[in-house]
Structure 1
Amino acid sequence: MIRLTYFPYRLLLCKNQAGHPTTKAQQQPQQQQLAAQILADSSLTMVDNLAKDIIKEGFNAGSGYSQIWARDFNTLIETSLEVHSKENVRGAILIFFALQQKNDEMVDGYVVKKDFTWNDDTPYYSDAAPGHVGFKNTVETDQETSLIQLVGKYIKKTGDVELLQEKVAGTTVLVRMEKMIDYLLRERFNKKYGLLWGAMTADWGDVQPNDSFGCDWNELSDEAIDVYDNTMFMIALQYLIEVVPDAQKAAQWAKMKKGIHENVRKHLWDAKQQKFIPHIYPGKSPIPAGFDENTIHYHGGTAVAIEAGLLSKKEIAIVNQQMVENVKLSGMPSIGLTLYPTYPDGFFKGGMAKAYQYQNGGDWTWFGGRMIQQLIANGFVKEAYEEVRPMINRVVKNQGFYEWYGKGDVPDGSGKFKGSAGVLSKAILQFREWAVENQK
């Protein structure tokens, strides 16, 4: 067991040299200096321009991926609306709803039929989308919540609330989203814990450990409850509350969200260690004897939990310091580090069998960038600017956005991974907005 020592976190500009809290007037010059540095940083402009260039190429996940995934599209929707027409984005969203299944579940994503070239025992078809094929990694539970967030972000940025009343195969988008919530509560809700469940995967990942493919629920799957699935649900509910003009429904969703919030804090937050428990296993546990899974820090799920409002500012400071220390201990490049420590060698099959490979400790800007966004949103701008540097620097060096990075910052996966581009573009916009507000 690895024991980590975390020192009390010192908030940015919180004390002067005598150890007394600083005043707002004392903080201002340092904030102005940071703001000026951000506004003069040409590398941010370069990365933002590169991000927009590759997102202009389409809504698919990236080079090597012909598919459009809801979980990816959700993280590049704001930038997509800056470089594509509203009509094109709207059309891409509506195809998801056309592929909604009769049991109300949502697909992971879709592809035009001519590009459906991979082996899949269970492709998803729909008469409402005859030119497309859907697919779904059924070990995960974030498809419905990703699409609801995607719709919410689209409406907030465009004001196109009429999308909710658009009919797809005779049923409005709003009703279809409500049916997606019903599906989750019916098919993926554990009544004992009051939380959603999926298969055991590594943090936000979509690969289970017990078979070589790992993406489909089967007899080898282990039911597991984690922070990522449930906080994605909370964020989806919040978007519904914000964009749907129905006070009664909003009240119902607010009550549901409050219940998930309370149960995540009760069952998944380890107050003593100030971290989230990786999994609750309602049935058998797949974890090998002698390995304590609760030593593992889930960076991606923690970032999403902050977005969902699960942690106080003090707790955000602590988990961020944990991430920074995990990066140092692991020797990995950035807080995009998926998790630390990694699962034992051989626990996952295939490409994740070794440490620091893919979702078993690989470094993913796609989620590290979300932590940067949340640091900025919660006032930790200095920390965010310091911690984003490895992500910015490697984009500049490689002139592209790789899917993930291994030891030594070696790039891997798709060379134009649009989720990474989207989260960095959004974070850069946040940096600039903060800097403009604080430069005087």
Structure 2
Amino acid sequence: MKRTIAFVLSLILLGCKIQNDYKELGQKIHSNEQFAEVKKRALAVVKTGFNAGDGYGEVWIRDYNTFIELSAEVFDSNELEENLLVFFKLQGQDGSIIDGFIPKEKAVEVEGGYDYIYTDLEPNYTGHKNTVETDHESSLVQAVYKYVKKTGNKDFLNKKVGDKTVANRMELSMQFLLNKRWADKYGLIYGATTADWGDVQHAHPWGVYITEETKFCIDIYDNAMMLVALDNMMELIPKTKKKWTQIRNDLARNSMKVLWDEKNQKFIPHIYLDGSPYPDDFDENKIYYHGGTAIAIEAGLLNNEQVKASLNKMIANVEASGAGSIGLTLYPPYPEWAFENKGMYPYGYQNGGDWTWFGARMIQQLVKYGFVKEAYDQLLPMTDRVIKNNGFFEWYTVDNKPEGSGTFRGSAGVLYKAIELLEEWAEKQK
């Protein structure tokens, strides 16, 4: 009896301590002046347009997907809708979705440059598609979901684009992945060999188009993005559940069966469909993909223990590399010879660059999975450098120096949402 009473008392004391710790953390979140300032600056950056950032003329769907919710805070919903409609108007007959669009008068046709896409449905803009990527279709479906949930405009799904509704075209885009990017052997979608979520393949000095040298492979990022998109589509359009539920469940099961390395508690970078482009003595599985892992967590593929193990590995990688945050793309980086594109040197660009654009998405998932203190701690380096460098930079070097656009709206969007999720949690602790 005494042991039972002692045990109950210990549980009560533990519960009180946890409650006090939560309350204290909530107060820290609410009193963090950087958070308020970063949110203010994020709104100011997003107010200025829809292209990815300064230096970019295009509106890219993979970027727009990550700041459309923030854009809804400062733009009329009709403007957001018009951008989404451009992607649907420029949709391919096969269901494919463009990478980005630009006003026709600003599209510069040069040999070896973008292969621009025109349709009668869209008089003002032209589009292009980075064919080494397999996330455009998923990104658009996710962006529509965020737009509808944020604005409540469900009628958008019934809007006609040509002879099809937006809802029809969303499903057509998912069908494109089954028809044109499906690896029957694995029951997963494939793309070209890129670094994690990157848009540059291993071959060709530029690397944004499929070529004869392209090596196709399966990775976790593309498949996790499709999983999130399918969940979003089925929620918005319930009648699609009959066809897509089983496909979604098979995709989730196969993602873990094929790509999850149970022994090392990580995702295998690539499963090649027809041989690796790299020499036999190069062990690619030593590389840990931060971004793809974050999206896999968003897709619900990992349990709480695996999420915590993933975070621990990311933190260890940051310490080993000397990087500034868990936005570190991957670790260790690919050798210099692994990519023809000169910007993909070790710790350059997507080969070990530090991207808040993905790091803050991991923060969002940590909050959702209950790792709130960890989320708070890992977010601080990201908000600190926004203030220090006076901008939302595209990426950071391994020694935490800013690179690329200083008004990268994707970074602003995901940081704002990460802070918002923390503040919502803190509010509940009062």
Partner of 1:211: 204
Contact 1:101-1:126 at 8 Å conserved across structures: no
Partner of 1:110: helix, strand, or coil? Answer: strand
Q: Structure 1 residue 310: deviation in Å?
A: 0.3
Matched residues in 2 for 1:245 and 1:360: separation?
A: 39
Matched, 1:419 2:416: no
State the one-letter code of the partner of 1:357.
Answer: G
Partner of 1:362: 353
Matched, 1:286 2:277: yes
Deviations 1:98-135 (A, max 9, x none): 10112221101101112213633521111111211101
Partner of 1:226: 219
Contact 2:207-2:341 at 8 Å conserved across structures: no
Deviations 1:347-402 (A, max 9, x none): 11233342100000000000001000100111111001111111101000111101
Matched residues in 1 for 2:377 and 2:64: separation?
A: 27
Q: Normalising by structure 1, report the TM-score.
A: 0.93
Q: Normalising by structure 2, report the TM-score.
A: 0.95
Deviations 1:18-72 (A, max 9, x none): x999733320001100000100001001001111101011111111111101100
Partner of 2:14: 23
Partner of 1:193: 186
Matched, 1:159 2:152: yes
State the one-letter code of the partner of 1:425.
Answer: Y
Matched, 1:174 2:164: no
Deviations 1:195-245 (A, max 9, x none): 000001000001011110101001010001000000000000000111114
Matched residues in 2 for 1:354 and 1:430: separation?
A: 35
Contact 2:114-2:128 at 8 Å conserved across structures: no
Q: In the TM superposition, what are the counterparts of 1:39-438 in structure 2 within 5 Å? A: 39-117=30-108, 119=110, 120-246=113-239, 249-438=240-429
Matched residues in 1 for 2:362 and 2:396: separation?
A: 17
Partner of 1:133: helix, strand, or coil? Answer: strand
Matched residues in 1 for 2:60 and 2:237: separation?
A: 24
**Compared CA separation, residues 206 and 156, structure 1 to 2 (3 A):** same
Contact 1:63-1:417 at 8 Å conserved across structures: yes
Contact 1:335-1:387 at 8 Å conserved across structures: yes
Contact 2:352-2:398 at 8 Å conserved across structures: no
Partner of 1:4: none
Q: Structure 1 residue 288: deviation in Å?
A: 2.4
State the one-letter code of the partner of 1:161.
Answer: K
Matched residues in 2 for 1:191 and 1:424: separation?
A: 37
Deviations 1:261-300 (A, max 9, x none): 0000100001110000000001021122321000110000
Deviations 1:305-349 (A, max 9, x none): 000000000000000000000000011111000000110122112
Partner of 2:337: helix, strand, or coil? Answer: coil
Q: Structure 1 residue 255: deviation in Å?
A: 1.5
Q: Structure 1 residue 251: deviation in Å?
A: 3.4
Matched residues in 2 for 1:45 and 1:337: separation?
A: 25
Gaps of 5+ in 2: 1-9
Contact 1:366-1:419 at 8 Å conserved across structures: yes
Q: What CA RMSD, in Å, does the superposition of the two structures yield over aligned residues?
A: 1.4
Deviations 1:154-176 (A, max 9, x none): 11111111111100112111111
Partner of 1:434: helix, strand, or coil? Answer: helix
Percent identity of paired positions between Structure 1 and Structure 2: 47
Contact 1:351-1:357 at 8 Å conserved across structures: no
Gaps of 5+ in 1: 1-18
Deviations 1:66-95 (A, max 9, x none): 110110010001111111111111111111
Contact 1:212-1:349 at 8 Å conserved across structures: yes
Matched residues in 2 for 1:264 and 1:378: separation?
A: 20
State the one-letter code of the partner of 1:185.
Answer: L
